[in-house]
Amino acid sequence: MNDKELLDLYLTGDIKAFEEFYQRHKKALYTYIYNRHPDQADDIFQETFYSFIDAISQRDIDFPLGYLYKTALNKIRSSFKQKKGKLLEFNEEFT
């Protein structure tokens, strides 16, 4: 069964279908996130799946794996922006 079919089943209430999707992709996705932002990998990984679940429940996604990785990338970028903003605030206090 492909990813789209699994997620379609999940949306009808089949939790096991999402578990299979998760098990299929968790290791590679975590590695992808960790290689880009090791400090926040656990949080970003979790936030990625929360956002992904929310997205698939609101709209039809033709390429779920691509959407999942794009979500992860956006979470990574957002984390760096927040971190950069905090550093700027910290530096401004001392100037």
Q: Look at residues 74, 23, 27 and name the one whose alpha carbon lies nearest to residue 48.
A: 74
More confident residue, 67 or 81: 67
For residue 20, count other CB atoms closer than 10 A to its CB.
16
Q: Which two tokens stand for residue 5?
A: 């079919």
**Overall average pLDDT of the 12-19 stretch:** 97
* R_g of the chain, CA atoms, integer Å: 16
pLDDT at 90: 45
Q: Are 10 and 21 in contact (CB under 8 A)?
A: yes
Q: What sign does the CA torsion over 79, 84, 85, 87 have?
A: positive
pLDDT at 88: 46
Q: Which two tokens stand for residue 2?
A: 């492909």
